Structure 1
Amino acid sequence: MTDTPTRRRRPSLDRVRKLPAWSALVAGTFLGGLSGGVYGLVTPPVYTATSYVVAVPTDKAPSDAARGFAQAYGRVATQLAVLGDAQVWAGVPVRTLRDSVRTATSPDAPMVAVTATSAQPGLAVDMADAVSRALTRHAEDTKGSTQVRLVQFSRAVRPGKPSSASSGVTALVGASAGGLLGGLVLLARPRRTGRGEGPAPAASVPGPATAADVQR
């Protein structure tokens, strides 16, 4: 009775081993594509909106001072002092702004890009514009010491389509990853011996010497 489950498993294992070598590649590609497609359908879309502010030096500041202060304001934009004012205009908590807003600067231009992401396109626009507005207010308060002010260069535009990957793209990525894993399994699979080849003969081990062998 105890050998019955083991005997039932052996035919199943034999069938798996007799499958064609390329079946692992096909199965990995299919499962990976299916998983990627389901992930793309379940995950909500993400929209991105970006507003721009530019640093402008006053008459008392050198022309290259604007680029340096633009870099500094790009780092300050996501700090609590700025986000605390921006939450009033955006209508979201500071934590949401901290998680959704990113800034970028360029070493060649005195400009700060404020980018916000959200599942709602209108909210992404509101958050980007709110942070830009709060940043220009803080720059205006310190204009007397920095001799540099921030001016809104471009307001955020409502995105017409999500910036996140579609279900087709995620399915393609999943299929590629699954095919890669299937290929690795195919390479790691032990090769079969030829039909005419039998098992390798076992190495003969000499036995203990007898008295007759010693006399010889």
Structure 2
Amino acid sequence: MTDSPEPAKPAARGRTRRFLTRLFSLPRWWPLPVLALTGAAGGAAYGLLVTPEYAATSYVVAVPAKDGEPVAALGFAQAYGRVATSDSTIAYARVAVGIPARALRAQVRTETSPDSPMIAITGTSSRPAEAADIANAVAEAVFVSSNQVAKSTGVQLVSFSQAIPPGRPSSPSARIATAVGGCAGGLLGGLVLLVRPRRRPRPAAASVPAPAGAGDSVERERV
């Protein structure tokens, strides 16, 4: 009969014990630099691998009629800002841009202000020219649909500024992504230090005093 080799459990346990010993022997603040460097590396990878995104904005203004009130223009500006991403507006704009309606809706956002009758229509894309085309096409669609009912509403939209192809991407650059990742990792490392339990010093071995009279008895036995 051949002896079967014993499993290397003691060796594995020894390696695990040595690893834990080295880990706990490190300084208490080691998670802070490790997590900060990890976050910075992740941010750098994100900034380098993700496709940059460009944003272009077109502005239109709601103008009241001669006898209209400015308050009406503010209210209709809010309404037309919501209409900018409706199905009818997207269906009109997608013909000019040549993008499917679902994708076009995801690449458009609008902003309005309760203190100003201006509507900001922003188009986003991985190509600067396409971002400007999206913003201008949606603004044109809102402009046409609103002016068709201008006589009944007493408010019409006027093109204030058309979108132009941006020169720089709106998405964060690799440097900014690296800095943000490093800050996030450092913050996480600080939280780990706050939550991590502190090491308690080992209690020193207390010396047990010898009972009284023990020395005398020993000396008597020697005598």
TM-score, with structure 1 as normaliser = 0.86
Displacement after TM superposition at 1:59 (Å): 2.9
Displacement after TM superposition at 1:37 (Å): 0.6
Provide the C-alpha distance between the structure 2 equivalents of 1:191 and 1:106, rounded to a whole number of angstroms: 52
Match of residue 35, structure 1, among 39, 42, 53: 42
Question: Equivalent residue for 1:210?
Answer: none
Match of residue 68, structure 1, among 75, 81, 101: 75
Q: Which amino acid aligns with 2:14?
A: R
Change (3 A) 1:89 1:190: same
Displacement after TM superposition at 1:144 (Å): 2.4
Change (3 A) 1:28 1:151: same
Provide the C-alpha distance between the structure 2 equivalents of 1:39 and 1:33, rounded to a whole number of angstroms: 10
Displacement after TM superposition at 1:47 (Å): 0.7
1:153-190 Cα offsets, whole Å, 9 max, x none, are 11002211011111111111111111122222223333
Match of residue 143, structure 2, among 136, 141, 149: 136
Provide the C-alpha distance between the structure 2 equivalents of 1:182 and 1:107, rounded to a whole number of angstroms: 42
TM-score, with structure 2 as normaliser = 0.83
Provide the C-alpha distance between the structure 2 equivalents of 1:113 and 1:49, rounded to a whole number of angstroms: 10
Higher radius of gyration, 1 or 2? 2
Change (3 A) 1:98 1:199: farther
Question: Equivalent residue for 1:204?
Answer: none
1:49-83 Cα offsets, whole Å, 9 max, x none, are 00011112223433432111111111111101111
1:154 correspondence with 2:161:
yes
Question: Equivalent residue for 1:214?
Answer: none
Stretch moving more, 61-70 or 144-153: 61-70
Q: In the comparison of the two structures, how many residue pairs are matched?
A: 200
1:198 correspondence with 2:184:
no
1:17-49 Cα offsets, whole Å, 9 max, x none, are 111122221111111111111011111111110
Provide the C-alpha distance between the structure 2 equivalents of 1:64 and 1:191, rounded to a whole number of angstroms: 63
Question: Equivalent residue for 1:206?
Answer: none
Provide the C-alpha distance between the structure 2 equivalents of 1:103 and 1:57, rounded to a whole number of angstroms: 21
SS in 2 for 1:64: helix
1:106-143 Cα offsets, whole Å, 9 max, x none, are 22222111111111111100000000001111012112
Match of residue 102, structure 1, among 106, 109, 114: 109
Match of residue 49, structure 1, among 41, 51, 56: 56
Cα root mean square deviation, aligned? 2.0
Identical aligned residues as a percent: 49
Provide the C-alpha distance between the structure 2 equivalents of 1:106 and 1:187, rounded to a whole number of angstroms: 42
Q: Which amino acid aligns with 1:135?
A: V
Provide the C-alpha distance between the structure 1 equivalents of 2:146 and 2:197, rounded to a whole number of angstroms: 67
Q: How does 1:199-214 map to 2 (within 5 A)?
A: none
Q: Which amino acid aligns with 2:175?
A: G
Question: Equivalent residue for 1:174?
Answer: 181
Unaligned stretches of 5+ residues in structure 2: 1-6, 207-223
Q: Which amino acid aligns with 1:130?
A: A
Q: Which amino acid aligns with 1:128?
A: A
1:187 correspondence with 2:187:
no
Question: Equivalent residue for 1:85?
Answer: 92
